[in-house]
Amino acid sequence: AQSVTQLDSQVPVFEEAPVELRCNYSSSVSVYLFWYVQYPNQGLQLLLKYLSGSTLVKGINGFEAEFNKSQTSFHLRKPSVHISDTAEYFCAVSDLTGGFKTIFGAGTRLFVKA
């Protein structure tokens, strides 16, 4: 069965500092990986996704993530954060066994301080 672990529940960081939000997954088959962002009082929206090919994936708002198959990780990074990046971030995995089964992690709350 699939599972997703987001290693940090909260990440405080100062504005313009780099940030990494960690995500590990487990699955017995090949997977697709996603990062979603949830701003206050809103639904989730897609930041980026890894389907195949290059392991470094670039998304919206300057975020990028790297797929590491050997470590079963898909960490999200941004070299310089802004106050407006304050939000909750969810890692998700979807498998290829047919049908749909997307599993979400518990979320990481990023808090950017001035």
- Using CB under 8 A, list all residues that contact another protein: 4, 6, 9, 32, 34, 36, 41-46, 49, 51, 90, 94-96, 99-102, 104-107
CB of 114 vs another protein, minimal distance in Å: 25
- The residue among 56 and 60 lying less far from another protein, judged by its C-beta, is 60
CB of 68 vs another protein, minimal distance in Å: 19
- The residue among 2 and 15 lying less far from another protein, judged by its C-beta, is 2
- The residue among 28 and 114 lying less far from another protein, judged by its C-beta, is 28
CB of 14 vs another protein, minimal distance in Å: 25
Residue 81's nearest CA partner among 108, 61, 107 is 61
CA distance 112 to 79: 13
- The residue among 41 and 70 lying less far from another protein, judged by its C-beta, is 41
CB of 37 vs another protein, minimal distance in Å: 11
